[in-house]
Each structure stands twice: as C-alpha cells, then as structure tokens.
Amino acid sequence: MKTNTKLAVAFLAAASSIAASAADAPAPAPAVTFSGYAVVTGSITKDSGAASVSDLDLTAAKFGVTAKLASNVSAYASLYYNGTDADLLDAYVTVDAGSGLTITAGNFLSYMGYEAFDAINMAQISYANGGLLGGPVPAYHTGVKVDYVTGNHGLGAAVVDSIYGSTLFNGDGSYTSKGLEAYYTYKGIKDTQIWLGGLQDNDNGGAVYDLWVSYALNKTDSLGAEYLVKESDGYNWLLAYTKGIDSKLSVTARLSGESSDVADAKFVKYTLSPSYAFTDKFTVRAEVSYTDYSGAGASTSNSTFYAIQSLFKF
C-alpha cells in the first residue's frame, strides 16, 4: 500500500473515532458535528490496441466538520484525500437571512452538474462525460454566493475567483478576472425537478450552459437526463435509470455521450452499475462501462472499464 494511502487510512480512523465520540455526547446536541466517508476502488481499464491497466487503492476520503456559530450562522470545513494528496476542500460560512435567503462565503462546490462530486452520493463509479471537453463541470472555487428558495422555486448566483483552477480543490486565487455562476430550479411538477444553470469563465471568455431533469418513478426508482453545452467547443449528454430491486440492491443503467469540435472527437458510453447496501453506512458497488469513440482526434476506438468499489460513511 502507498505511504500516502496509509496516512489517509490512519487519518480516517482518527476521524471516525472523533465522530463516534461526538455521537455519544450527552444532550443537548453539540454545536460541532462530524461526518465523512472513505472509498476503496479496484478497476481495470482496457483501451483498444493497448494493454490493460489495473489499480486498487483508497481513491477518496473526506472528513467534514460542521459548526453552529449562531442561531442563523453555520460553518463547514472538510479535509479531502483524492487518492494521491490530501488538502482542505470545503471551507465556508453560511448566514440564513430568513424567508428562504442564504448567503455563503468561502471555498465551496460549483452549482453545475447532474452527477455528484462526492463518490458516496453517486449512483455509479465513473462519470458519464468530461474528458473530450476538458471537464466543463467545475468543482471548487472561492467567492460569495446567494441562494433563494421559496415554494417550488429556487435560484442562486455566485461570484468566484475563477470557474476552473489548477486542481479540483480551488480556483486560481485571483479576483482580477472573476467567474460567474447562476441557476434556477423548479419542483412544481409532481416528482420532478428541472434545473437550469450557466457559468461564465472570465479567464478565457468561455461559457457553459447546463440543463438537467430528474423524475422519481416511485420511492426507489428514478430517471435522470442532462444536456450541457460548452461554448465554442461542443456538448455532452446523459440518460440514467436507477431501479431498486429491494431495500438493499439497486441497479443503474446509463447512456451518455460527448462531442468536441476542438478535439475533433466524440464518444458514446454505455454503463451498468449495481449497488448493494449492507447497512446504511457501508455499500459495495460495481460497474462495467463500454465507450465507443469516433473522429480524427480520438486516441482509441473503444475502451472498456471494470470496477468494484466499497464505500463507508459516518
């Protein structure tokens, strides 16, 4: 096992111990609470005409601390390990101004994207898209955002240091050219959420527009669809269906694709991913994905991905 992986495992063990101690604290509930997760993934990737590449490692671990600073003020910070390095991830303060209005300042996750950043919140292991467009859905950046939720409507806007940074953990740290994000969501149709968002990356003048829709067929089954356009580059899309077999077993089937005019390449990806929740704290997930590439800029004609993943949360 890698040295940094051993350190991450030790850190997670200590974090779990702290969280367990906090959970045993007597009433009233503490002003500080802890949460987090760890993910171990084994995978094999086989590109056409190339040898298989395999890996088994701790691929993600997160330890978060939430503090209640006042009746309407809270703070959250997290340390995140991405399989190679550990770094501060979330670090923000939120003020509840009342009547559905909140103001947040610090380092926080982008609004954009149907699929979750945290592996523990995903329905499968791999992401649907992103490679050909250079990852159009950003992760973390620093700034201020304002959100307003009332009834079936929600909207928000953020002014940040940059849309994209040198890593997924933060923006570029410079406010000379700011990044802008905004979204609107509507839940007035039974069991349906419609989400529309956009961003402006003032470092390079690019814009991204993202529309996704989710529909709950029942308590365990759901449908999702997303269409994203990256200005002057291309687009991607996904369709996903999650079926609950019983209280523990579920299966997600996903069809997705991406096209880049700049890279002169496109692909269609087929994904099947079952998950089994042994407890509400421990889940095992598997995935088989096949990606079919085309276009002069494609580096391979096809790629197959096999993976199994264990997820622990506290």
Q: What is the mean pLDDT of each run of 10 residues along the chain (314 residues)?
A: 42 46 50 96 96 95 96 96 91 97 98 97 96 93 97 97 89 86 97 97 83 97 98 96 97 98 96 97 98 95 98 96
Tell me the DSSP string of 150-162: ETTEEEEEEEES-
Q: What is the pLDDT of residue 244?
A: 97
Distance separating alpha carbons of residues 113 and 128, to the nearest angstrom = 11
Q: What is the pLDDT of residue 204?
A: 65
Q: What is the pLDDT of residue 56?
A: 95
Q: Enter the tokens of residue 90.
A: 């979330």
Beta bridge mates, 253: 241, 272
Q: Could you say which of 3.20.20.70, 3.50.50.60, 2.40.160.10, 3.40.50.300 is the CATH number of the domain covering 3-313?
A: 2.40.160.10
